[in-house]
């Protein structure tokens, strides 16, 4: 998809469709308010746009659209009026999603669109609008069609019209940011969508090495099973025991231009397939468990894009990759394993495997001198019970970090909601035989007790956040900005986070 910027007026641009916008209204005889170039184009078309909207009962709901043929009155073949929903509720992400849904619907039908960047009263900045629109087009067009016929070709060109020359540079830069972020998101989606027989730990490790090879600012180290054993990663390796495919502990490192004392560790859960192990999952729950490496996919997406973001501090990406399988050598309920931290863990269920791998990643991050830790993990089914399929559970021991992650997620249009690290619930996780059990003695509060497990491995003074992405990382039905399956959740939130300088 190509993006072009021009100072030409939309009425003078040739494309398959000129897009204009409208907000919905709830008044009796007014269903929508025209926005942006609607009025200009309507004049050129002799009032045909308004007429079509009224005739068809167009109400400008978000993503609702109407197409009007322009019968050669303007160079664009048609005008598309795109609804943005109610103005009162409008946030930037509504524009991203409206565009995303339009991109899906126009697939295979339309090749080029033109639009002028709409301005909105509340703190309108054209560069942000251009970024949101570009992300909407790219992310909405994505589908995983490697093994099936595609729904049709995606748009090949988007022309932003009426951009004054003084604004062109900054708008171009923001389109490039959108392209970089979306490409990284799509990499994560592809990794999640590709079956686990292909995307195994070796595949992830090779990809990590390739990312580092292409980029002088990034280094990559792969720790094999034998070395991980020497380092004492007994929790992670317990999960890896059941599989012949070798586990790979992936360490990516971004080095800033100027040396910095700050080092952020981004940890991604990298269970390439989760059968549950001997605490086997019911057949229905096992479907989609190829997505249990969505956190790892996000880390790889982030590193594929990080050099263009250029954070001024060090960033390490850690993935303890392994599937959770069953074999005669697999770990068992009742096993007691020793984590890298020295803490022993009683295995109550082999299906709570992610936290074992993550625990050793956290200890490793601390040994590497991390000054801040953020993990992304499809950790619990229970977080979906709590927050539904669209929202990530956010836990943190640091207020400032919570606010920054929330802001970064809001900019990305990715939904997060904070849940508490309730210390009273620590007593729900006691083991008679080890320092701690791998699950609490109750199902209630599952996402919280799981986060509390991870917190046991975080040193008190290190700011840490845990994102339980089990809901939005993998979606059954698709949405306006993502097809079915992997969404790449977390990539754009984290890239936004990295874009903000540490204060």
Q: Write out the catalytic residue numbers.
A: 281, 355
Q: 133 is in the binding site of which of Zn ion, ligand BES, none (Cβ under 5 to 8 A by kind)?
A: none
Task: Provide DSSP, 366-403.
Answer: HHTT-SEEEEEE---THHHHHH-TT-EEEEES-HHHHH
Q: Does residue 72 contact residue 9 with C-beta atoms inside 8 Å?
A: no
Kindly state the smallest distance separating residue 467's Cβ from ligand BES, in Å: 13
* Binding residue for ligand BES, selected from 118, 242, 311, 354, defined by CB under 6 A: 354
Kindly state the smallest distance separating residue 411's Cβ from ligand BES, in Å: 25
How many angstroms from the chain centroid is the CA of residue 170?
25
Q: Interface residues with Zn ion (CB under 5 A)? A: 271, 274, 292, 351, 353-354
- Residue appearing with tokens 């012949």: 244
Tell whether residue 498 is a contact of ligand BES (CB under 6 A).
Answer: no
Kindly state the smallest distance separating residue 379's Cβ from Zn ion, in Å: 7
The span from the CA of 322 to the CA of 10, in Å, is 53
Q: Considering only CA atoms, which of 19, 52, 48 is closest in space to residue 118? A: 19
- When the beta carbons of 301 and 354 are compared against Zn ion, the nearer one is 354
At 321, which helix (H) or strand (E)?
strand 314-324
Tell whether residue 143 is a contact of ligand BES (CB under 6 A).
Answer: no
Q: 130 is in the binding site of which of Zn ion, ligand BES, none (Cβ under 5 to 8 A by kind)?
A: none
Q: 439 is in the binding site of which of ligand BES, Zn ion, none (Cβ under 5 to 8 A by kind)?
A: ligand BES
* Binding residue for ligand BES, selected from 114, 380, 392, 496, defined by CB under 6 A: 380
- When the beta carbons of 274 and 414 are compared against ligand BES, the nearer one is 274
Cβ contacts of 239 within 8 Å, gap of 6 or more: 271, 277, 322, 324, 331, 350, 353, 356, 357
Coil, helix or strand at residue 45: coil
Q: Considering only CA atoms, which of 467, 61, 75, 172 is closest in space to residue 294? A: 467
The span from the CA of 480 to the CA of 497, in Å, is 23
Q: 381 is in the binding site of which of Zn ion, ligand BES, none (Cβ under 5 to 8 A by kind)?
A: ligand BES
CB atoms under 10 Å from CB of 16, counted, come to 18
User: Cα-flanking dihedrals φ and ψ of residue 391, to 5°?
Assistant: -120, 135
Q: What residues are paired with 395 via a beta bridge?
A: 466
* Nearest-CB residue for ligand BES: 381
- When the beta carbons of 182 and 350 are compared against Zn ion, the nearer one is 350
Q: Considering only CA atoms, which of 72, 32, 144, 235 is closest in space to residue 488? A: 144
> 3-state DSSP: the chain helix, strand, coil percent, rounded to 5?
40, 25, 40
Kindly state the smallest distance separating residue 473's Cβ from ligand BES, in Å: 7
- When the beta carbons of 70 and 200 are compared against Zn ion, the nearer one is 200
The span from the CA of 387 to the CA of 383, in Å, is 6
* Binding residue for ligand BES, selected from 351, 375, 414, 480, defined by CB under 6 A: 351
Q: 470 is in the binding site of which of ligand BES, Zn ion, none (Cβ under 5 to 8 A by kind)?
A: ligand BES
Query: In this chain, which stretch among 118-126, 138-146, 179-187, 374-382 interacts with ligand BES, using CB under 6 A?
Result: 374-382
- Token pair recorded at residue 316: 């390490």
- Token pair recorded at residue 68: 């009007």
- Token pair recorded at residue 18: 């000129």
- When the beta carbons of 90 and 425 are compared against ligand BES, the nearer one is 425
- Token pair recorded at residue 401: 């970090």
How many angstroms from the chain centroid is the CA of residue 194?
16
Tell whether residue 242 is a contact of ligand BES (CB under 6 A).
Answer: no
Kindly state the smallest distance separating residue 269's Cβ from ligand BES, in Å: 8
- When the beta carbons of 121 and 284 are compared against ligand BES, the nearer one is 284
- Token pair recorded at residue 102: 């339009």
Tell whether residue 277 is a contact of ligand BES (CB under 6 A).
Answer: no
Q: What residues are paired with 467 via a beta bridge?
A: 376, 394
Number of residues that bind ligand BES (CB under 6 A): 14
Kindly state the smallest distance separating residue 264's Cβ from ligand BES, in Å: 25
Kindly state the smallest distance separating residue 300's Cβ from ligand BES, in Å: 18
* Binding residue for ligand BES, selected from 292, 346, 375, 480, defined by CB under 6 A: 292
Tell whether residue 382 is a contact of ligand BES (CB under 6 A).
Answer: yes
Q: Considering only CA atoms, which of 130, 139, 118, 183 is closest in space to residue 5? A: 130
Kindly state the smallest distance separating residue 163's Cβ from ligand BES, in Å: 43
How many angstroms from the chain centroid is the CA of residue 464?
19
Strands, E, within 168-313: which ranges?
A: 218-223, 248-254, 263-274
Tell whether residue 115 is a contact of ligand BES (CB under 6 A).
Answer: no
Query: In this chain, which stretch among 145-153, 168-176, 196-204, 352-360 interacts with ligand BES, using CB under 6 A?
Result: 352-360
* Binding residue for ligand BES, selected from 134, 193, 378, 455, defined by CB under 6 A: 378
Tell whether residue 394 is a contact of ligand BES (CB under 6 A).
Answer: no
Tell whether residue 387 is a contact of ligand BES (CB under 6 A).
Answer: no
* Binding residue for ligand BES, selected from 345, 352, 409, 481, defined by CB under 6 A: 352
Q: Note the residues at the interface with ligand BES (CB under 6 A).
A: 274, 292, 349, 351-354, 378, 380-382, 439, 446, 470
């Amino acid at each position: 998809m190509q993006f072009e910027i021009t100072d030409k007026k939309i009425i003078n641009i040739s494309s398959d469709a000129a897009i204009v916008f409208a907000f919905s209204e709830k008044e009796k005889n007014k269903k929508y308010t025209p926005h942006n170039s609607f009025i200009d184009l309507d004049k050129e078309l002799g009032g045909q746009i308004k007429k079509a909207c009224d005739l068809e009962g167009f109400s400008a709901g978000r993503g609702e659209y109407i197409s009007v043929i322009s019968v050669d009155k303007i160079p664009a073949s048609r005008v598309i009026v795109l609804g943005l929903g109610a103005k009162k509720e409008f946030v930037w992400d509504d524009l991203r999603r409206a565009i995303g849904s339009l991109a899906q619907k126009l697939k295979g039908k339309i090749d080029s669109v033109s639009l002028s960047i709409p301005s909105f009263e509340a703190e309108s900045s054209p560069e942000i609008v251009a970024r949101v629109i570009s992300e909407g087009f790219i992310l909405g067009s994505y589908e995983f069609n490697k093994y099936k016929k595609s729904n049709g070709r995606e748009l090949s060109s988007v022309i932003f019209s009426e951009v004054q020359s003084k604004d062109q540079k900054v708008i171009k830069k923001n389109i490039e940011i959108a392209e970089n972020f979306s490409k990284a998101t799509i990499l994560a989606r592809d990794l999640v969508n590709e079956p686990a027989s292909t995307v195994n730990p070796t595949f992830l490790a090779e990809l990590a090495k390739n990312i580092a090879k292409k980029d002088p600012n990034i280094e990559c180290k792969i720790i094999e099973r034998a070395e991980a054993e020497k380092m004492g990663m007994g929790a992670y390796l317990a999960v890896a025991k059941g599989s012949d495919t070798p586990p790979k502990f992936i360490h990516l490192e971004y080095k800033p231009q100027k040396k910095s004392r700050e080092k952020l560790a981004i940890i991604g859960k990298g269970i390439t397939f989760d059968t549950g192990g001997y605490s086997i999952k019911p057949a229905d729950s096992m479907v989609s468990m190829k997505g249990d490496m969505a956190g790892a996919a996000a880390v790889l997406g982030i590193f594929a894009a990080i050099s263009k973001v250029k954070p001024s501090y060090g960033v390490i990406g850690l993935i303890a990759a392994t599937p959770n399988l069953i074999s005669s050598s697999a770990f068992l309920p009742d096993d007691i394993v020793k984590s890298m931290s020295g803490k022993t863990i009683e295995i109550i269920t082999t299906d709570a495997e992610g936290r074992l791998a993550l625990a050793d990643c956290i200890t490793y991050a601390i040994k590497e001198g991390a000054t801040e830790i953020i993990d992304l993990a499809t950790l619990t089914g229970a977080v979906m019970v709590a927050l539904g399929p669209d929202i990530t559970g956010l836990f943190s021991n640091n207020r400032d970090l919570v606010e920054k992650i929330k802001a970064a997620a809001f900019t990305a249009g990715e939904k997060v909601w904070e849940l508490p690290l309730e210390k009273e619930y620590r007593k729900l996780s006691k083991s008679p035989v080890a320092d701690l059990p791998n699950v609490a003695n109750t199902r209630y509060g599952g996402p919280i007790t799981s986060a509390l497990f991870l917190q046991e491995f975080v040193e008190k003074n290190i700011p840490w956040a845990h994102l339980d992405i089990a809901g939005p990382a993998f979606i059954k039905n698709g949405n306006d900005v993502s097809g079915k399956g992997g969404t790449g959740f977390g990539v754009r939130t984290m890239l936004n986070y990295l874009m903000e300088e540490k204060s």
